[in-house]
Amino acid sequence: MWYKRFALFAILALALALVACGGGAAKPAAPAAEEAAPAVEATTEKPAETSGLPDLGGREVTVAVENAYLPFNYIDPTTGQPAGWDYDSINAICALLNCKPVYVEAAWEGMIQAVGDGQFDMAADGITITDERAQVVDFSDGFINIDQRLLVRKDETRFDSVQGFIDDSSLIVGTQTGTTNFETISKLVPANRIQAFDTFPFAVQSLIAGDVDAVIIDETAGQGYVGVNSDQLKLVGESMSSDQLGYIFPKGSPLVAAFNAALAELRANGTLDRLADQYFSDKFTITYEDLEGGESSELPDLGGREITVAVENAYLPFNYIDPTTGQPAGWDYDSINAICALLNCKPVYVEAAWEGMIQAVGDGQFDMAADGITITDERAQVVDFSDGFINIDQRLLVRKDETRFDSVQGFIDDSSLIVGTQTGTTNFETISKLVPANRIQAFDTFPFAVQSLIAGDVDAVIIDETAGQGYVGVNSDQLKLVGESMSSDQLGYIFPKGSPLVAAFNAALAELRANGTLDRLADQYFSDKFTITYEDLD
């Protein structure tokens, strides 16, 4: 894979554990980017109704990306899928403008000229807006500000400022060729004091080895290197330049005005702030060392085969349409993508209703399904389950002012009380063992059940605790969870009976459990870090 070019530098623990947005190193810019194999296609959902925005009529927009520049674009080591600020922001823009981004991996060297020549509709790669580049391409408005700083060895005492470095003619600075960092330092010291490298990892290795005395680098990236090499590196001196980053387009492209209008909308509705918090704060923990990956020789190789995966796209946090990007997301997507990255398979996700999903897999209509599916003996008569990947408790969700009961038994004992739940779920099965059918109101989805609870049409909803906590989080003035867990269930993926995929997926799940990926995903989707709600999806 592309990122093996970094393998020689594992000793560096090359990282981008990014600084918090409030630190000033990276923040959304008011209206005023650098480094990207096969094309990667992203689909967008029907655009939101936003007055005043152009409608691009569903047109495809080719986007050059390097897939090698954290946190703007990279191959996520957890999922094996392209990810980053560029993907999420452009997906969000196209969701507003009704366009379809088609991402094409391209080298940073030559990317700007390629866009200028019309080989791509645009490029996104953390590209700094400069007058020189603006002779070749048109820029969007700036979307974030980046400062440039000096990265030095921890024991450096010869200088502690930019001027101190400039004044000592014996000192050599490293940087990446073709970047604005290179341009900035070229204005400050002569060429014989500059060592240019193909990538920043090479420059930082040279710094640690003592071959150069400093590296000029974007502060965000520099903080990342310091974060994992705190015993070896530090940043010194003031910012030499505070640059805005933007997307680039061929000269005269009508996309510029459309993208600027969408960026203004994303700035106004808080999306840019949300993405900045996701990618330019300590919430972003992916490092260049993570991108080096680790391949397991003991796992099956599925030879690149396609696997159809039924998902509902309506069950937080397992699968849903991300309201920020308009793209499918969730535990199911990330975990199955990660599994297929290990097994050499290609998941093809197919939206399907929960009702009938299990039988459809049993009938062989899909290779598998993922929908937060509880492992039960009854279902195992129809499908084969993978090993369980997480435990989920079932709880009672009630109105905040509920005083008639505060336990499961208290609810059971009051025969006047009605409980809501979703039909065909284990929640339905659990409550059916505890109260008679005339006390159960079944709904097609949990949002309907919760709406009925808030309206006072039912007195409680039995629900998986994770989902219940989400409802409480956004309706803390109206809802609460009461009582003990009624059941603690394991969830798994389902396959047609006898499917050979079960053993392969179990082996991959064991690998993801061992290497910490499942823990990482659990922290992402089953903790207070996950803040998307059903209200957001509306």
| Band of pLDDT at residue 45, cut at 50, 70 and 90 | very low
pLDDT for position 407 = 95
Of 443-457, 494-508, 519-533, minimum mean pLDDT range: 519-533
What residue spans of 282-356 are helical by DSSP H? Answer: 288-292, 331-343
> In this predicted model, what pLDDT tens digit does every residue of 465-478 receive, in sequence order?
877 877 887 788 89
Token pair for 456 = 């006072």
When pLDDT is averaged across residues 260-266 and rounded to a whole number, the result is 95
From residue 328, alpha-carbon distances to 175, 311, 450 in Å are 38, 10, 23
> In this predicted model, what pLDDT tens digit does every residue of 475-506 receive, in sequence order?
888 999 999 988 778 899 999 999 999 999 99
> What fold does the segment set 2-144+248-291 form as a domain?
D-Maltodextrin-Binding Protein; domain 2 (3.40.190)
Domains 148-244 and 393-490 share a fold: yes
What does CATH list as the number for 305-390+492-532?
Answer: 3.40.190.10
**What is the pTM (predicted TM-score) of this model?**
0.51
Helix (H) or strand (E) holding 275: helix 271-279
pLDDT for position 292 = 61
pLDDT for position 30 = 54
| Band of pLDDT at residue 69, cut at 50, 70 and 90 | confident
Neighbours of 270 (CB within 10 A): 12
pLDDT for position 532 = 80
Beta partners for residue 102, in sequence order = 41, 62
Answer yes or no: is pLDDT of 19 > 50.
no
> In this predicted model, what pLDDT tens digit does every residue of 149-203 receive, in sequence order?
999 999 999 999 999 999 999 999 999 888 888 889 999 999 999 998 877 778 8
Pairing of strands 479-496, 460-464: unpaired
pLDDT for position 203 = 87
Answer yes or no: is pLDDT of 284 > 80.
no
Beta partners for residue 406, in sequence order = none
When pLDDT is averaged across residues 361-380 and rounded to a whole number, the result is 95
pLDDT for position 326 = 86
pLDDT for position 9 = 31
> In this predicted model, what pLDDT tens digit does every residue of 111-160 receive, in sequence order?
999 999 999 999 999 898 999 999 999 999 999 887 899 999 999 999 99
pLDDT for position 439 = 97
DSSP 8-state code for residue 1:
-
Answer yes or no: is pLDDT of 24 > 50.
no
From residue 464, alpha-carbon distances to 353, 420, 492 in Å are 19, 13, 15
Token pair for 478 = 């109206």
When pLDDT is averaged across residues 316-342 and rounded to a whole number, the result is 90
pLDDT for position 296 = 44
Higher pLDDT among residues 241 and 370, named by residue: 370
Give the torsion through C-alpha atoms of 426, 431, 434, 438, to 10 deg.
Answer: -130
Please give the radius of gyration of the chain, using alpha carbons only, rounded to the nearest integer: 26
Mean of the per-residue pLDDT values for the chain?
85
Q: Provide, rounded to the nearest whole percent, the portion of the chain with pLDDT above 70.
A: 88
Higher pLDDT among residues 97 and 285, named by residue: 97
From residue 322, alpha-carbon distances to 99, 449, 503 in Å are 17, 22, 31
> What fold does the segment set 393-490 form as a domain?
D-Maltodextrin-Binding Protein; domain 2 (3.40.190)
Which CATH architecture group holds 148-244? Answer: 3-Layer(aba) Sandwich (3.40)
Q: Tell the residue number behind the tokens 């007058």, with chain if given.
A: 131
> In this predicted model, what pLDDT tens digit does every residue of 423-444 receive, in sequence order?
888 889 899 999 999 999 999 8
Omega before 496 within 30 of 0, i.e. cis = no
Of 318-327, 376-385, 523-532, minimum mean pLDDT range: 523-532
From CA 367, how far away is CA 310, in angstroms rounded? 8
pLDDT for position 277 = 80
- Sequence spans of domains, the chain: 2-144+248-291, 148-244, 305-390+492-532, 393-490
Beta partners for residue 128, in sequence order = 245
